[in-house]
Amino acid sequence: MCLPQDGATGPTGEIRPFPTLHLSGDGACPSPRIEGYEIIRELGHGGMGVVYQARDTRLERMVAVKTILGEFQSRERLELLRREARLAARLRHPNIVAVHALIDSVDPPCIIMEWVDGVPLDAIARRLSFHDMARLMLKVARAVAYAHEMGVIHRDLKPGNILVDRTGEPRLLDFGLARGVLRPEELSSGAALKGTPLYMAPEQFAAPSKVGPAADIYALGLVLYVLLTGSAPPNPRPAAGATEWANREIPPPRELNSEVPEPLQRICLKACELRPQDRYARAADMADDLQRYLDGREVRARPMRYTRLLSERVRAHVDALAQWEGDNLITRREADSLVDRYMKLLRAESLWVPGARRLRPGAVILQAGGWLVVLSAVLWVFFYWTKIGSAQRVLWIGLPTVIINAAAAILWRRFSQLVALIFTVVGTLLIPLFGLVLLHELGVLSTRADYRYELFGPDYFSNRQLAAVFWLTAAYAIWLLWRKRFALLAALLAAIWLVAIASTLLLFGLKEWLTDDLYATTAAAFSPVPVVAYLVARRLDRPAHDQLAVPFYAVAGVSFLIILGVLAYDAPDTWFGLTASVAPDPDTGPQINPLNIARELSFLVCGLACFLLALVHDRSGTRLRRLWGALYFRVVPPSCVIPLDYLGKEPLWSLGTVGREPLQVLEFGVPVACVLLLAAGTRLQLRWFAHYGLLT
């Protein structure tokens, strides 16, 4: 066991390394002489004491010895040491360092404690997964809850007072400032300010004599905050008074680390509420929430910061949806749809950017101004390109690009999230234009000699410049999304990536294909888009940041349908050379139309493909995939029924005549399809199938 020095957190908020251990004899105070114990080395100094590693010669075991430094020895300090020993001796818990004995007959007096070979909790924080953080905090919270049940308040909880031993078990120590729950009048619980300010609850600054178990719960929240963010809690200005310390706001952990699971953020913010009555009522309640997170269940924490934005009814409805579905009050698809609407209110950026949700004049003006900047920059290039010189082109586009991106970087550091997000999007959209102007003026990747298939003329940007700039911008957008996990940045990346794909295809003849009406070839060239977008969406479809997957699911779904539709319509003509029939022959009757038949059969195949994809998505384990499966289902009925209706008018196979009109076998296809739609709608509980079948 070792005792960290007070102030283990520096003024910059960095967590300093644990004090270096050194052998006894080279420190500022001589090693104590205690009968039956052999002092091995000095471990570290506290505010008024020193801790040694020692060997119990009678029982042949390692122990820790805590003594009072010579200059602090007094009757009051001795009483404090005795009180610490008495309080700690009450506790017998596997995650609390045990006290073996108090020896006050020696000089200096000392406490004999259990030896723990471990390191402070914050020293290993960066090596822990969120699951391991929750597991460790669960055990610490249960240890604190046990201490409260035994009538002991720690009052100095911090990462340095929690050791993690070689087996990975956390051990709580240093009850030097502890006091009894039912004896607020005892020594050290007066008006004097005691503890480590960085981890002290607001009430410890405002009324030190009235501190209760809620102060330990607040400190537990800050310890969890350090683990989740890797940063020290907020530190007011150096000359801050008690009022500023008491009113400091703890930012949501996801502001510093966007990977933090939202349930753990809720637990942290709940424990760190400013008012004691708003925190967990007991440390055991915090432990229960940590256990729910580890079990994959919904946590009960409702921080006041959330409730300022959302009513508790919204959360109650979200929590109740699973029960409603289990009681067959709503279907699974209805539950998914309702959950999706609620989850839009709980997106990561909406939780701590209130202005992103509300249409306030300032936010609307800011967003409108951003789009006007982008639009005016694009239009300016085309209207004034030939009227100014090269240096002016670079300056007039480069200056706003640099200013806006620099402003975005500054705003992120100041936690102006909504404004920073808008500036980031605007600045990113300006980067391709600035890059194109710069490459054009430098003559890099300029227009090829044969510019007939260049998107622009020889005096403007070349296809190679377009491809290079947009791929570089896509790489920058990936970096932004990796740093700041926002759905808007994911949508921005998806849009830039699509333009980069299109600009790359320009190098292979995209303009030529479109000029020559080779639409099927164009669609085939874009076929990797839905595949890659879908794989990216699946990769991002995780509970911690599933909102990032939505734009890529949209790109995958929409592009897949467009490509299928274009291929079904144009491939029979472009690739296979099928043509429409000529006028009906008076001798043989109506002529077969091979082109129309091929197109309708292709659309029918597209509908069946969409049905299979929808069926697979509908059985997926994630909510977003099920929602996209429901959208695919809506495409199936018209894709199947309409082609059959057209094919029924083609003279393929006749079953005779009814009166003077031939009866075609495919005319039965439509009613059969309607019956199948009704059956599938009933079996799969798809109202869209049933409604379409009845209407058709």
Give the active site residue among 56, 122, 156, 336: 156
Q: What SS3 class is residue 57?
A: coil
Rg (CA), the chain: 35
The encoded tokens of residue 158 equal 């911090």
Give the Cα separation of 91 and 597 in Å (integer): 84
CB 221 within 8 A of CB 197: no
Q: At CA 100, angle to CA 97 and CA 104, rounded to 5? A: 120
Residue for token pair 């057209």: 646
The CA–CA distances, whole Å, from 188 to 46, 155, 310, 491 equal 17, 11, 42, 57
Give the Cα separation of 393 and 384 in Å (integer): 9
Does the annotation count 288 as an active-site position?
no
The CA–CA distances, whole Å, from 418 to 351, 423, 545, 621 equal 11, 9, 18, 33
Contacts of 216 (CB under 8 A, 6+ apart): 144, 147, 148, 153, 154, 155, 157, 283
Instruction: For residue 32, say if its preceding peptide bond is cis, omega within 30 degrees of 0.
Output: no
- If one counts every other C-beta atom within 10 angstroms of the C-beta of residue 230, the result is 15
Residue for token pair 């410890």: 204
Q: At CA 2, angle to CA 9 and CA 37, rounded to 5? A: 155
Give the Cα separation of 462 and 450 in Å (integer): 11
The residues annotated as belonging to the active site are 156
